[in-house]
């Protein structure tokens, strides 16, 4: 069932001769996509379910009485076949999962870029807050100036100078790439 | 007394700060923020991805040597791609967290900056400004700041939703597909484990050690219960992811109206559902 064109490396599932008939073979090109790999795995799992049901039917015929050793042997062999089928199916589920993630590089990258841009925007908004503070300091200065009280004016000038310094720092051209929030 | 010139001065300064971004009316992004927050904290997927990765640890005691060989290979394969599963989730979570911040986290509360303005005035109380005027001043500046911040916020939220929707939907779809694969793998694990007891318990001859048989039955019951509880979690995780997808789609379809009553109601409902699912998963 594996073909040169599919991207899975799952070995052919093996079924021991005593097992019930295996599922019909899949077309070679049918394994190309994750969905189809998953479908094959579903079929293998269903087959395992059938084997289990068959084994239980045989055991329950004895209604709690001792089961002869030969029957036990056959049942255990079938149980092992069922377990192997389930492992093969799980391998295919993993292959399908790998298909799912392998196609995702671009959307994920784009989303990360978008998030980084948004983080930069958020930082910018913080600076608008600085503008408000600047306005506040200007007004503080204006208010202080109207009182004619020298100390108050000096204090207001200091605060204004500090605020301008903060803004200059933040507006300085970055020497490295802007930080992202990731 | 220059008090009469102050409002004019302020309006001048405020119009400079406002630039061209005044938004009409009141923009309410609380539901957007809550929805994004609930989406980021949904849970379920991460735990189930880890469980998927650790499948072999749990099933190994029940495997025959031949089957164990195949199971070991599966284990290596699962561990190899697990990191990619986590990366997908991380990118969606980070996106939602960022959206939540843009939609109005506490750091957007600029009123402490506004209190600066108030302080600037209060400090000059002996200049003759009355408390009433200071209060009105502070109130006005708060209002203006809210408009500035809201206008900017809502534009950023819209841009991010518009630009991110396609990719978010692709990644959420992938997470749902993966969760279904985790569930199917778990199903095979469960049947492998319980299957051993289905067969061996009836096979114990009546003369065999009763203690051993009793232990086996108890163990079987405990495992069966464990798997029943786990099964529910896959369903809940899938429901949660679907709600995140629908909520984001709702925002995408209503970009110009994120504050509209019906949009907010829909987002509030999604947010509530997501929190319920999260509570269910944390039990």
Write the pLDDT tens digit of every residue in B31-54: 999 999 999 998 899 999 999 999
Least confident of A13-22, A126-135, B97-106: A13-22
Rounded to 5°, angle at Cα B139 from B135 and B144: 150
- A11 DSSP assignment: P
Task: Show which of residues 96-115 on chain A sit within 8 Å of chain B, judged by CB atoms.
Answer: 96-98, 100-101, 104, 107-108, 110-112, 114-115
Which of A60, A64, A114 has the CB atom closest to B163's CB atom? A114
Closest CA to B183 of A41, A31, A15: A41
When CB atoms are compared, the residue of A87, A104, A155 closest to B171 is A104
Q: What pLDDT score does B103 carry?
A: 84
Considering only CB atoms, which chain A residues are within 8 Å of B186?
A: none
Q: Which of A45, A64, A72 sits opposite B184 (nearest CB)?
A: A45
pTM greater than 0.90: no
CA distance B53 to B210: 36
The ipTM is 0.74
Structure token pair of residue B26: 């009141």
Residue A28: DSSP 8-state: G
Which alpha helices (H) appear in chain A, and where do they start and end? 34-60, 69-102, 105-147, 150-171
Other C-beta atoms lying within 10 Å of the C-beta of residue B162:
12
Residue B28's pLDDT is 82
Residues of chain B with Cβ-Cβ distance to A75 below 8 Å are: 199, 203
Q: Which residue has the higher pLDDT, A28 or B160?
A: B160
* Cβ–Cβ below 8 Å for B91 and A112: yes
Rounded-to-integer distance, Cα B28 and Cα B104, Å:
9
Q: Which residue is closest to B174 within chain A, CA to CA?
A: A100
Tokens 């599963």, residue? B85
Share of chain A above pLDDT 90, in %: 18
pLDDT in tens, B207-239: 678 888 899 999 999 999 999 999 999 999 999
SS3 per residue for chain B: CCCCHHHHHHHHHHHHHHCCCCCCCCCCCHHHHHHHHHHHCCCCHHHHHHHHHCHHHHHHHHCCHHHHHHHHHHHHHHHHHHHHHHHHHHHHHHHHHHHHHHCCCHHHCCHHHHHHHHHHHHCCHHHCCCHHHHHHHHHHHHHHHHHHHHHHHHHHHHHHHHHHHHHHHHHHHHHHHHHHHHHHHHHHHHHHHHHHHHHHHHHCCCCCCHHHHHHHHHHHHHHHHHHHHHHHHHHHHHHHHHHHHHHHHHHHHCHHHCCCHHHHHHHHHHHHHHHHHHHHHCC
> Where are chain A's structural domains?
28-102, 105-171
Contact criterion met (CB < 8 Å) for B191 and A34: no
Rg for chain B, CA atoms, rounded: 29
Return the CA Rg of chain A.
36
């Amino acid at each position: 069932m594996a073909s040169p064109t599919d991207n899975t490396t799952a070995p052919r599932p093996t079924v021991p001769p005593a097992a019930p008939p295996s599922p019909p073979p899949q077309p070679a090109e049918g394994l190309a996509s994750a969905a189809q790999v998953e479908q094959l795995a579903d079929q293998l799992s269903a087959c395992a379910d059938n084997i289990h049901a068959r084994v239980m039917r045989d055991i329950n015929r004895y209604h709690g009485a001792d089961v002869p050793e030969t029957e036990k042997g056959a049942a255990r062999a079938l149980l092992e076949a069922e377990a192997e089928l389930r492992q093969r199916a799980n391998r295919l589920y993993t292959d399908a999962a790998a298909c799912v993630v392998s196609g995702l590089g671009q959307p994920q990258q784009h989303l990360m870029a978008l998030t980084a841009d948004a983080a930069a925007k958020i930082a910018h908004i913080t600076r608008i807050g600085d503008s408000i503070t600047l306005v506040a300091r200007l007004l503080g200065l204006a208010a202080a100036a109207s009182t004619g009280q020298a100390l108050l004016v000096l204090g207001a000038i200091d605060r204004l100078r500090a605020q301008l310094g903060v803004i200059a720092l933040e507006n300085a051209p970055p020497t490295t790439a802007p930080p992202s929030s990731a | 007394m220059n008090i009469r010139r102050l409002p004019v001065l302020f309006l001048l300064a405020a119009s400079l700060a406002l630039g061209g971004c005044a938004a009409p009316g009141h923009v309410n992004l609380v539901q957007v923020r809550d929805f994004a927050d609930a989406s980021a904290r949904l849970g379920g997927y991460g735990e189930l991805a880890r469980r998927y990765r650790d499948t072999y640890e749990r099933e190994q005691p029940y495997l025959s040597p031949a089957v164990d060989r195949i199971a070991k290979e599966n284990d290596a394969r699962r561990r190899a791609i697990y990191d990619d599963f986590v990366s997908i989730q991380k990118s969606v979570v980070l996106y939602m967290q960022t959206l939540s911040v843009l939609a109005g986290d506490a750091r957007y509360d600029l009123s402490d900056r506004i209190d600066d303005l108030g302080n600037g005035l209060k400090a000059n109380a002996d200049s003759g400004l009355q408390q009433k005027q200071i209060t009105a001043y502070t109130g006005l500046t708060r209002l203006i700041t809210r408009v500035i911040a809201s206008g900017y916020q809502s534009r950023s939220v819209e841009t991010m939703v518009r630009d991110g929707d396609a990719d978010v939907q692709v990644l959420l779809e992938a997470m749902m597909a993966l969760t279904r694969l985790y569930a199917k793998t778990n199903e095979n694990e469960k049947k492998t484990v319980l299957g051993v007891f289905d067969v061996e318990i009836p096979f114990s001859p009546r003369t065999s050690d009763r203690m051993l048989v009793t232990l086996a039955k108890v163990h079987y019951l405990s495992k069966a219960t464990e798997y029943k509880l786990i099964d529910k979690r896959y369903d809940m995780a899938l429901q949660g992811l679907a709600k995140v997808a629908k909520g984001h789609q709702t925002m995408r379809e209503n970009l110009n109206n994120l504050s509209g009553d019906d949009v907010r109601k829909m987002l509030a409902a999604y947010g509530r559902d997501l929190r319920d699912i999260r509570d269910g998963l944390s039990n």
